[in-house]
Amino acid sequence: MKTFSWTQKLKQWRRIALSMAHLKTFNRTFRSLQAKPDQETVSSPKACGRQSIFKFVQKHLRNLLLETNPCKTQTLNCRRSKTGNRPKFALIMAVISLTSAMGHRFYNQPKLDVGTLAPATIRAPRDAIVADPKTTEAKQKAARRGLIPVLMVDPAVNHQIYQELQQKIEQINQSRRIAGQFPFTSVLSTATQIYLRSCSESEWQEILAEFNNHSEETANIKEFSVTTFPAQVNSPQVQQVINELKAYQRINSEGLATLITTISQARQRYAQALANLSIKLMVEQEENSPNLTFLELTEADWRKTQDGISQAIERILAQGVAPGLPLVLKQQAVRIQVKDLVPETAQPLVTQLIVSVLRANLIEDAEQTKLQAEQAVQQVKPEMVEVRKSQIIVKAGQEITQREFVLLDHFKLSRREVNWWGLIGCGVLVSGGVSIFWWVERRFHAGLRQRDHVLILLLALSVPLLVTFGVNYSSLPAVGLLVGSFYGSALGITTVGLLSVGLPIGMENILWDHLFANAAGALVGSLMAGRLRSREELALLGIGIGLTEGIVYLTLNLVLSAAAGSIWLAVLPEAAIYSLTGVAWSVVALGISPYLEQLFDLVTPVRLAELANPNRPLLKLLAEEAPGTFQHTLFVATLAEAAAKGLDCNVELVRTGTLYHDIGKLHDPQGFIENQMGGPNKHDQINDPYFSAAIIKKHVTEGLVMARRYRLPKAIQAFIPEHQGTMQIAYFYHQAQQQGKEPLDEAFFRYAGPIPQSRETGIVMLADSCEAALRSLKEATYEEALAMVNKILKARWQDNQLVDSGLTRSEMSQIAEIFVQVWQQFHHKRIAYPKAALNNG
């Protein structure tokens, strides 16, 4: 019975050792067995039995610990061999499933469809009145698009026009005050006075020269003359002025000089007023209009003109000015209004004045336009197709129209059946699309797992399935955002582009404006999502996706419509709905992305950034319970991140994976020297290199257990065993050699592995190996530090730890230089503070 009892215990210990999760329990039992022989005499049979059991357990424990890794490696190799044919199987399943979803129109496709030729003359088997929903919908859409919007007067625009017009009238009044009273004399006609004030200086001098040659009062006239000219009286107006002045001279020769002085003063005031009016008024005259200004109007005419301007502008604004009204039509409308309201001589000036301030004061009444659009749609009667029994529906060889197809389909004469050739063609096109995706994957994102392909396939299938159920607002934006954020912009754009091209081929009732709007938003999402590093940025991208969809939908409808301006308000609500649906799909994508990341074990930049947060529970626990390990981790992360950036690796993955690579040390923080803080070394008390090595190795297995407990991604978990690979635990191996009590098993003092399987984990192994050595350097030169790092990296290379990592021998030198540069940044020189400065501080 005793032998049976110990046999049972050995089997139990074997299971415990294999699990490697209860090594502490085994240690306690093992030490109790080790301690009890010392309490009894060596000659005791019971003691001898326990000593033999102790040796047996110790021997088999080492063997069991060594057995775990080969088994695991063999299992992994078996799994890899079984998955060799999975890519081909996945491609076949993707083609079949996508063809099945996107080839919906070929399942029950009419042989006699719109646009095909009738093989024979087909007659109606009975009387029927059939609704044509497709034509009805087209008419309703045309009625909505062709609607003329309802306009209303904008009071704010009217107020601005009145203000601007009043300012110009006030400027005219100011200029008229500067010009003085008109007429300025009673001895000359009004036309002559108008000419004398406004004529050029050369003409005025010509008039004075004429009087110098023919008048006896030359002495009185010369004092007003600047330059004398020969008599060249060619203008009828000049001749008229001279005649009136000569007539006045004959009546009152002495008053001629005073009259000329009055004329000169009037000319000066007029010139000043005209300059002021031209600068402020800025009114352009019509072509072929008289060269008149508001300064020529008499006071009575000006008062009448002001009243006429007020009435004309009030009538024009009451009638309304439509947007885009041509200038010629504006001028014509103003002429009609001012014709009987202002003096005839002022009509050209008033016309230009009103036109200069006139602008569109009609705006669209959104509510009335919407109401009118609804009424227009309701007024569209359903399109009904009527046929009598034996009436010919379509003649042989005639092209089938929509009206005829409705009748054929109603009588089940359209010969609906599975279009196998069409389905096969759709499958060929889908195969081409899948091949393009596979090529892009190999080019930009090689190494996708089986579960990644399943996720992309499920996301792609959601688009045709929604279209099948008649949802116009397809999930393309969500697909683009998710694939772009999970796998990069290249795969996101490829997926969206292939779906956008393939949907119209195999799906019915695809609206082009809807498809283009969805595709545009999805392309923007997939292009930008791969570059963003937080969910806040992705949320802002969702708004951009919505705006893109709305703008594209609105632009397409305006461009394709013959009356773009009139349908603006009719299309704008639909564009707004598209913007909201784009944002809604983005919200859906952001909401399900964390669940997809967990379910499919994805490592996106956003998730890596979240996992790298020091406030994550596991990292916080590491900082509190193993502060030395945490500081070691931070320095290793700095080294590895710099090397990853230099070698163009996944920096986010390296940073996050390094932060978790030593979490297994939480199982026994004091078993690692960085956490002992100068206290007693636990391994000196153990004084058993085998158990010390087991404790050291256990931080890998315990790290994996903790990583699974905290649901870390597999890509992060890979850093835990691979950063140690199968390296030797050299210190305890040499200690066991020195003790030399029994044959030494070198494999027991190596980590279980596997060795690094990626460039990222390989970089972390090298950074972890060099961290302690670099930290120990204080006054070393750059060359000394570089030589030491190169020695460490050479040892890892010669130990075959990097054969599966993808790192090359030439990159070892580059990594070493980066490590030493980072070390220099951490250990830069500082100025020694004087003691006096320290005391004063």
Backbone angles phi, psi at 728, to 5 degrees: -85, 140
In CATH, what number is assigned to the domain containing residue 683?
1.10.3210
Q: What is the pLDDT of residue 146?
A: 57
d(CA 483, CA 471): 21
CB count in 10 Å sphere of residue 767: 28
Q: Are residues 123 and 25 in the same domain?
A: no
Per-residue pLDDT tens over the stretch 572-609: 777 888 788 888 888 999 889 889 988 998 888 888 98
Please indicate, yes or no, whether residues 122 and 168 belong to a single structural domain of this protein. no
Q: Select from 604, 620, 614, 613 the least CA-distant residue to 653.
A: 604
Cα dihedral 47, 52, 56, 58, rounded to 10, equals: 60
pLDDT in tens, 143-200: 666 566 677 888 888 888 888 888 888 888 888 888 787 777 878 887 887 788 778 7
DSSP letter (8 states) at residue 286: P
Same domain, 497 and 587: yes
Asked whether the CA dihedral 99, 104, 109, 115 is positive or negative, the reply is negative
Last residue in a domain, options 567, 602, 637: 602
User: CA nearest 449: which of 487, 411, 421?
Assistant: 487
> What is the C-alpha to C-alpha distance for residues 151 and 386, in angstroms, rounded to an integer?
40
Tokens representing 349 are 């000036």
- Do 303 and 323 fall into the same domain? yes
Q: How wide is the angle at C-alpha 523 spanned by C-alphas 517 and 527, nearest 5°?
A: 155
- Pair 146, 570: CB distance under 8 Å: no
Q: Is residue 800, in this structure, part of any structural domain at all?
A: yes
CA atoms within 13 A on the CB side of 54: 18
561 and 594 inside one domain: yes
Record the tokens describing residue 390, joined without a space: 């034996």
Tokens of 600: 């499919």
For residue 11, the model assigns a pLDDT of: 42
Quote the pLDDT of residue 818.
93
Residues 511 and 645 in one domain: no
Q: What rounded mean pLDDT belongs to the chain? A: 77
**Alpha carbons 621 and 618: distance in angstroms, whole number:** 5
> For residues 604 and 485, is the Cβ–Cβ distance under 8 A?
yes
On whether both 624 and 714 belong to a single domain, the answer is yes
pLDDT of the residue at 292:
52
Question: Who's near 293: CB < 8 A, 6+ residues apart?
Answer: 198, 274, 277, 349
Hey, what's the torsion of the CAs at 786, 789, 794, 799, to 10 degrees? 180
Please give the biggest Cα pair distance in the chain. 170
Give the Cα separation of 772 and 753 in Å (integer): 21
The model's pTM is: 0.57
- Check if the beta carbon of residue 429 is closer than 8 Å to that of residue 504: no
Residue 96 lies in a domain: no
Helix (H, G, I), strand (E, B) or coil at 111: coil
Going 498 to 501 to 506 to 507, the CA torsion angle's sign is positive
What's the CA gap between 207 and 239, in Å, rounded? 9
Backbone region of residue 488 per phi and psi (left: phi > 0; alpha: psi in -120 to 50; beta: other values): left
Residue whose tokens read 């006030």: 170
DSSP H helices, 146-200, are 155-179, 190-198
236-251 and 256-281 helices cross at what angle (nearest 10)?
Answer: 140
Res 829: pLDDT: 56
The reply to whether 207 falls in a domain is yes
Q: What is the pLDDT of residues 92-150, one digit of tens each?
A: 888 888 888 877 677 766 777 777 887 778 788 888 888 877 777 777 676 666 566 67
Q: Evaluate whether residue 143 is within a structural domain.
A: no
Neighbouring-strand partners of residue 207: none
Name the domain count of the chain. Answer: 5
Its domain, for residue 731, covers: 610-826
Claim to verify: residue 701 and residue 772 sit in the same structural domain: yes
Q: What pLDDT, on the 0 to 100 scale, is given for residue 569?
A: 59
The domain boundary residue, chosen from 553, 580, 602: 602
User: Quick one: 711 and 785 in the same domain?
Assistant: yes
- Nearest-angstrom CA–CA distance, 477 and 494: 13
Is residue 142 situated within a structural domain? no
Round to whole Å and give the CA distance between 440 and 491. 7
Tally: H helices and E strands in the chain: 36, 8
Distances (CA, A) of 365 to 154, 374, 808: 10, 14, 71
Distance in angstroms (rounded) separating the CA atoms of residues 795 and 773: 14
Rounded to the nearest angstrom, the gap between the alpha carbon of residue 838 and the centroid of all alpha carbons in its chain is: 54
Distance CA 824, CA 789 (A): 13
- Cβ partners under 8 Å of residue 101, min gap 6: 461, 464, 465, 468
For residue 426, count other CB atoms closer than 10 A to its CB. 23
CA–CA distances in Å: residue 318 to residues 157, 315, 834: 12, 5, 88
| Domain co-membership, 633 together with 705 | yes
C-alpha span between 261 and 224 (Å, rounded): 8
Same domain, 444 and 572: yes
Which residues of the chain carry a pLDDT beneath 50?
1-85, 216-232, 282-291, 562-566, 837-838, 841
Residues 320 and 202 occupy one common structural domain: yes
Q: Please, are residues 517 and 533 in contact by the beta-carbon 8 Å criterion? A: no
Residue 500 sits in a domain whose CATH number is: 1.10.1760
Q: Is residue 369 part of a domain?
A: no
Q: Does residue 173 sit within a domain?
A: yes
Q: Could you say which of 555, 579, 602 is where a domain stops?
A: 602
| Tokens representing residue 683 in the block | 């391994």
